[in-house]
Every structure is written in C-alpha cells, then in structure tokens.
C-alpha cells in the first residue's frame, strides 16, 4: 500500500496529535510551527484526512492510499467537510500578496455549518505568514467561538510574528528540520536528483521548490558575492542584484544564502550578530511594503556590503 501523502520524520508529532484526539483532548486549533520546507502542510493534510476517516494500515494509520475514498475526496478538493485556505490569484494572474479578509469571512462561514458527513469539519490555513493584520484579526471569530466538532490547523513558517490573541487560542505543535536520512528519503520519493544547498539543510520541500534555474542562479550569485566580501567587484554586485531580483523564489534563495553566511559568522562577531538582525528586519519591512524582488535585492546586497565591511 503506497501512501497518497508520504511523510518523512515527525512521527512523534503525529502520534501526539492522534493521542490527543483519541483521548478526547483534541484542541479546536493547532498551530503547526517550524521552518518552511519540512512538511508542515503535508502534516496538516494527512491529519485532516485521518480525522475525516481516511485510513492506512494498522501500524501507520495516517498513510492512507490515494484509492481510499475519503483520501481521494480530500486530494481532489471535493470533501465537503474540508476547507484549505491559501492565497488566491489576483486580476492580473499573479498570486495576491496576502490571504484576504474576504477569504477569511468565507472560511468563518464554512465553520458555521454542521459537518456534512456527520464527523468533523476541518480547516487548514496555509499559512499565517501570508495573512495581513486585518485577515489575522478576522479569523479570531472562529478561534474565539469554535463550533463543536471543528478543528483548525494554522501553519506558521515563522516569517511574521503571530498575534498573541491567535497564539493564546491554539495548541502549538512544533516540527523540526529533518535528519539527513529523512531528507534523502523524501527527495528520492519526490524524484529530486539535484544538489542540496547548505541553506536548505533539513528542509526537503524547500530544496525541491527551488530546483528551478532562477533559484540556482541566485544561489550561485550569492556564493560568489559572499566569497568576495568585503570587497566584491562591480560585476559580481550587479550580477547578484539581477539574479536575486529575477523573481520571488530567486530572492528567497539568495536571502537564505546571505542569512546563513552571516549567521555562521555571527558567533565570533557581535557586530555581525547585530547586522544579522538588521538584515532580517530589512527583509520583513520589504515584504510589508510589497517591494518588488529587484528593489529588495538591491537593498539586501547593500546591507551585505555594510555588514561585511563592519565585520572585518
């Protein structure tokens, strides 16, 4: 029997969730936390399908195959008691910056009805990082007044602070980066045969998502720039800005290389530790201001120049 949604690692977290539900201690909202690319969304979808009745073998009940009727409906998006909340496409055919308040209102309305199949009503928010303050406040309606037989999974990558009013109403379940063996197994299962960048260690989902050419060019440009620090030539600087600014995924790949480089040196330089925090703040502000990738890349490269010069 082949699982429809194979997962590597996180067995203890999955068992903790199953024990809570089986023991009648299922909290109405679960905050699934950890860095991106480690399987948090996969964890939530497996748990949701299990709650709704999908079953794998006795020794691995969350490993339901695609042929399982409940799992099949969950995978197709056709299960009436499962709602997955993600960013939607905008008028210009691009993903919106945030999950909108209108989406949250429809999500809240979904929980106002009784389960169609007589069991649970399950919602997955993927992710809290992609909600603005208005939509974060809007979801409090369901968190503060949870209907019976309802469970929410709120995925948090940690790139934005979670509102205290949301965190206080959830049970946190933190997932860790995968071991090297689990990463290798996950990448083999996904058919990935490329390199494994140090900045994505323990995060197979991130490695596979950034297998595209723009991400590879951005990583290579970041490494060349950082190797030449604190005095890279103009050609390396220009190449880095263009490569990092190619698209959002390339910018994230470049950013992770830069942060990993600075973090590795922050242990021996208090100034670089402060610069690491400043760089993280700069990136958060760029996201809040909805700056395009090349603008953000230029600011990022400039901040790296300053940080490297101060850390000499």
If one compares 82 and 251, the residue with the highest pLDDT of the two is 82
Judging by DSSP bridges, how do beta strands 29-33 and 171-174 pair with one another?
parallel
Mean pLDDT of the 45-70 span:
97
Are 207 and 192 in contact, with CB atoms under 8 Å apart?
yes
Q: Provide the angle, in degrees to the nearest 10, between the axes of the packed helices 293-310 and 270-288.
A: 170
Whether 267 shows a pLDDT value over 70: the answer reads no
Of all residues in the chain, what percent carry a pLDDT higher than 70? Answer: 93
pLDDT at 185: 92
Question: What confidence tier does 312 reach under pLDDT thresholds 50, 70, 90?
Answer: low
Average per-residue pLDDT for the chain: 89
Of all residues in the chain, what percent carry a pLDDT higher than 90? Answer: 59
pLDDT at 305: 83
CA distances 229 to 45, 79, 280, 306, 311, Å, are: 43, 53, 19, 10, 10
* Maximum distance among all Cα pairs of the chain, rounded to whole angstroms: 66
Residues 6+ away with beta carbon under 8 Å from 293? 244, 245, 246, 247, 248, 250, 251
Whether 309 shows a pLDDT value over 80: the answer reads no
Whether 311 shows a pLDDT value over 80: the answer reads no
pLDDT at 255: 84
pLDDT at 269: 67
Query: Which one of 50-64, 146-160, 267-281 scores highest in mean pLDDT?
Result: 50-64
Q: Which of 157-161, 287-291, 304-308 has the lowest mean pLDDT?
A: 287-291
pLDDT at 198: 67
Whether 44 shows a pLDDT value over 70: the answer reads yes
If one compares 33 and 302, the residue with the highest pLDDT of the two is 33
Q: Which of 55-59, 158-162, 199-203 has the lowest mean pLDDT?
A: 199-203
Q: Render pLDDT for 7-41 as a digit per residue (tens, 0 to 9).
A: 999 999 999 999 999 999 899 999 999 988 999 99
Q: Which of 24-33, 164-173, 196-205, 226-235 has the lowest mean pLDDT?
A: 196-205
Distance CA 57, CA 152 (A): 25
Q: Render pLDDT for 66-114 as a digit per residue (tens, 0 to 9).
A: 999 999 999 999 999 999 999 998 777 777 878 999 999 999 999 999 9
Q: Render pLDDT for 122-163 as a digit per residue (tens, 0 to 9).
A: 999 999 988 988 999 999 999 999 889 999 999 999 878 899
Name the pTM for this structure: 0.81
């Amino acid at each position: 029997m082949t699982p429809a949604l194979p997962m590597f690692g996180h067995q203890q977290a999955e068992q903790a969730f199953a024990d809570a539900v089986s023991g009648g201690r299922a909290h109405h909202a679960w905050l699934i936390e950890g860095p991106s690319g480690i399987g948090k969304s996969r964890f939530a979808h497996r748990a949701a399908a299990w709650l709704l009745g999908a079953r794998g073998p006795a020794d691995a009940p969350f490993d339901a195959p695609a042929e399982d009727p409940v799992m099949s409906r969950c995978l197709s998006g056709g299960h009436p008691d499962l709602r997955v909340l993600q960013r939607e496409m905008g008028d210009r055919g691009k993903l919106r910056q945030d999950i909108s308040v209108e989406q949250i209102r429809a999500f809240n309305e979904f929980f106002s009805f009784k389960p169609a199949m007589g069991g649970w009503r399950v919602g997955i928010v993927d992710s809290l990082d992609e909600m603005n303050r208005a939509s974060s406040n809007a979801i409090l309606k369901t968190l503060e007044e949870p209907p019976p037989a309802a469970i929410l999974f709120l995925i948090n990558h940690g790139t934005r602070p979670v509102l205290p009013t949301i965190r206080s109403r959830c049970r946190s379940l933190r997932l860790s980066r995968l071991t090297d063996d689990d990463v290798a197994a996950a990448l083999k299962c996904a058919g990935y045969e490329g390199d494994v960048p140090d900045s994505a260690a323990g995060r197979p989902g991130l490695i596979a998502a950034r297998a595209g050419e723009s991400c590879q060019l951005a990583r290579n440009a970041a490494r060349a720039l950082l190797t030449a620090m604190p005095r890279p030539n103009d050609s390396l600087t220009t190449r880095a800005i263009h490569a990092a600014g190619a698209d959002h995924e390339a910018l994230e790949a470049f950013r992770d290389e830069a942060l990993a480089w600075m973090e590795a040196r922050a242990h021996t330089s208090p100034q670089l530790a402060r610069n690491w925090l400043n760089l993280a703040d700069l990136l958060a502000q760029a996201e809040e201001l909805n700056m395009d990738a090349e603008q953000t890349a230029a600011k990022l490269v400039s901040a790296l120049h300053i940080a490297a010069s101060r850390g000499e």
